[in-house]
Amino acid sequence: MSSLKELKAQLAAPNVSAELLTALRSDQRAGAQQLLKSYEHRQQQLFAQRQMLEQHKRLERGLWPNYRHIAGIDEVGRGPLAGPVVTAAVIIDPDFPVPVNDSKQLTAHRRAELFGQIISQARAVAIGVRDNVAIDRENIYHATELAMADAVNNLRVRPDYLLVDAMTVPLAIPQSKLIKGDARSASIGAASIVAKVIRDQLMCMYAQIYPEYDWEDNMGYGTAKHLAGIAKYGITPIHRRSFAPVRDAIK
């Protein structure tokens, strides 16, 4: 009879035999039953993730017969009072294995995990960034459109179709504008995670330079602590002067 340590190692292998599982179900040891329960729970989670991913690829699957390289586009940072707007473009293949979802529904730790997997598993990934100066000059909507175009143009593979979350990219490429696209498309979901992780990292770096505004927690959004920082210390070079609370502070 295998020890519990040996059984744990066998259950962690990529392929677990039916014979091992049958033997475990007959094993009367409490530890063996707990190992079996944990294994079956993991398998259920993996199955649910695969089902979710296949559901999220439905839009891409309908387009792949006619368009080989489909890029999902998303943005993060349209609402904050400080910092850039960051966009991402991600091209995935039909066998893309990463269980992506809307970045807002994930913890920071889970986003970081998926970010690494997306970078290594996607066919192409690129970002676009427009800073607060461009946002003040262009307005936030148009600056976001330009950043999305930047992300597409930065891809190492030229896409022939775009799936875009709730916006239109100013490029002569066929595209679909999808409401809540990050929850409906795997490639947009991947782009939302990439853009969110990159922008959060940027704002945490800015927080080291300007520690009075709590950016490591609010990422530049107008929270009470951020507004209190503006009232006490004024604005910084990365604040968006065209946004009302900042504009009022200048006056």
- Identify the pLDDT of residue 154: 98
Q: Confidence class of residue 26 from pLDDT cuts 50, 70 and 90?
A: confident
Rounded-to-integer distance, Cα 157 and Cα 126, Å: 10
Rounded-to-integer distance, Cα 103 and Cα 13, Å: 30
User: What are the tokens at 124?
Assistant: 């192409």
- Identify the pLDDT of residue 49: 67
This prediction's pTM: 0.83
- Identify the pLDDT of residue 176: 97
Whether 39 shows a pLDDT value over 70: the answer reads: yes
- Identify the pLDDT of residue 9: 85
**Of 17, 14, 193, 16, nearest to 96 (Cα)?**
193
Q: Confidence class of residue 93 from pLDDT cuts 50, 70 and 90?
A: very high
Rounded-to-integer distance, Cα 227 and Cα 57, Å: 41
Q: Confidence class of residue 228 from pLDDT cuts 50, 70 and 90?
A: very high
Neighbours of 50 (CB within 10 A): 12
Convert the pLDDT of each residue in 98-141 to its tens digit: 988 767 778 999 999 999 999 999 999 999 999 999 999 999 99
**Of 162, 128, 133, 160, nearest to 144 (Cα)?**
128
The mean per-residue pLDDT over the stretch 144-167 comes to: 97
Helix (H) or strand (E) holding 7: helix 4-11
User: What are the tokens at 65?
Assistant: 């017969």
- Identify the pLDDT of residue 102: 64
Ordered domains of the chain (ranges, CATH): 4-55 (no CATH), 59-197 (3.30.420.10), 206-250 (no CATH)
